[in-house]
Structure 1
């Protein structure tokens, strides 16, 4: 049973978190959103933004922050941000699970530092998947932060068998909370069900906002979890996920005909391919295509 906590928060994590946070905070003055002129009926806010694929995580976090700001300004209340954490060219599973989550924690802090002004930190609640990650976060990536740190689930004696102690989300929030950010809720299938509960009990009917950060929601969208064994997730895919606005997204496809599905709100969804060090747009559309459509139809025909 001890193995699960090791997988979540690696004891062997010896790298300098201070140095990594400094790298994440790097200068962002050189990163800018290019706005191009448009004409005709398609001259909407979506087509006016031409965001280039990021060259590093510093630029990615700047773009994600800018996309979030625009979505919040447009009144979006339920937001999704998704990108690989091992490297900008990686896919889920490329890195060891515990290390991926550690990188996600560091990137979550970098994103929060950019998005949330100092006067709003005590009104922002960051939810980690499990209770034991809160203490680890306070000792590492979130050391010195005044952000409120919380959790979705609490491990039980039967954690090895997938059982956790249910936490009533209405009891976790406070009246002064304005923004919730849920960090990487994908290790246990129950975590996204709790996120839906948080949204229904603490966001709907209020001015609060909820951001899902690296939740690997494509697993649910693509039917990775068989509906027969995970009926609640099947319902979630039809009732909860369609409410999301995916404001920033990167998904890599490997292979000879590989490429990238990329979006930065309010721009369109783009399928890119790297050619000679330059990212070339192969396809563009307003609605999110399925990963199957990109892999089997768009990329092979480009």
Structure 2
């Protein structure tokens, strides 16, 4: 549907959105569903990302081979359970490891709500994410990995050992530790529920590390932990940042009392997202009934497939409407969803289009391309 169709036709598109299909990825360029020849993305960015994508184009994974090839992405995605999402995430991790990637990100909602886990400061989020990480670690261990789940500190470690004692004991090939396990124990920890067994030796013997529940400030400890493991001969070890909401944490970098933006430029930029599902809700006012149109979508990636913008259907299924080898920023995701819903009715270049999109549609870490030491997080 073009930008210039009427609002009434756009509203009809809203009512019939269940028939949307996905545009397919062809040779490093997105085949957009729009009729306009100019892409929504900046041309110089596309040229630059195309070079990066071609240089890092994943071949058939050593782990999946001809059995399962996800390079073309999904037309639709509707996981029926958290167990299915964990399986998909683990498959993506194994594929990435087969392609010799070491620093990985897994991101999907740890709770079946739209509440940001860190804004809620919720033990429910922490415990749910710990359970999901344990489930993922068991699946990785079943494929021959020695997995070490790394918590933020000794207090969280002691609490997790207490609450999930049985699950940890039954998880063969999986151990649990914390970011400070190499430091001398705090003699007062027993007074505050500490006293969990030392995890230092288990951490040294592992070959795969899953970091969970760290805050923005604790990213400093995550980086120090990874750097130490690599310096001690762990170049072949795999490090996974699991449901840490890195986009939220990136937003705090550079603020007073928080780590500097170098945390992203030098560390987080090196982490390749291998399974990523970030739902977003939007709304737009229209001059005809129903006057307010609510719509939802998600930015999705399942390695080695492309980045995909997914529109949520009435039945809860996500349908692909656009895809690219380079990561979309959130402004681009919203624009793709708006166009797909037939709600981008303003004339190209008009003042109304400017007011709808706003002056700024990207964040500093999405813009500072030249300052990054690596561009893995965009691929």
TM-score, with length taken from structure 1: 0.71
Q: Which runs of structure 2 are paired with 1:122-271 in the superposition (5 Å)? A: 123-141=146-164, 142-144=167-169, 145-146=171-172, 147-153=174-180, 175-186=204-215, 189-203=216-230, 206-221=235-250, 224-225=251-252, 227-230=254-257, 232-255=259-282, 256-271=294-309
Q: 1:131 and 1:274, CA in 2 relative to 1: closer, same or farther beyond 3 A?
A: same
> Does 1 or 2 have the higher relative contact order (CA < 8 Å, sep 6+)?
2
Structure 2 unaligned spans of 5+: 1-23, 29-56, 60-69, 187-199, 283-293, 341-379
Query: Which of 325, 328, 333 is the equivalent residue of 1:294?
Result: 333
1-structure distance, mates of 2:81, 2:337: 24
| Distance verdict in 2 for CA 1:95–1:110, change over 3 Å | farther
Gaps of 5+ in 1: 1-37, 157-170
User: Which residue is equivalent to 1:79?
Assistant: 104
- Mapped partners of 1:261, 1:270: distance in 2: 6
Q: Deviations over 1:68-93 (max 9, x none)?
A: 11000000010110111111x63424
Q: Does 1:100 align with 2:100?
A: no
Cα 1:232–1:108 change in 2 (3 A) is same
Q: Does 1:284 align with 2:308?
A: no
2:25 and 2:269 mapped to 1: Cα distance? Answer: 30
Q: Do the aligned partners of 1:134 and 1:151 also contact (CA within 8 Å) in 2?
A: yes
TM (normalized to structure 2)? 0.57
Structure 2 CA distance for partners of 1:47 and 1:55, relative to 1, 3 Å: same
- The answer to whether the 8 Å contact 1:91/1:252 transfers is no
- The CA deviation string for residues 92-122 of structure 1, in whole angstroms up to 9 with x for no partner, is 24866111111111111111111112864xx
Match of 1:112 in 2: 137
TM-align CA RMSD: 3.0
CA distance in 2, matches of 1:283, 1:49: 11
Q: Distance in 1 between matches of 2:176 and 2:221?
A: 16
Q: Secondary structure at the match of 1:67?
A: helix
Shift of 1:49: 4.3
Q: Which has the larger radius of gyration?
A: 2
Q: Sort the Cα spacing of 1:293 and 1:231 in 2 relative to 1 into closer, same or farther, 3 A.
A: farther
Count of paired positions: 244
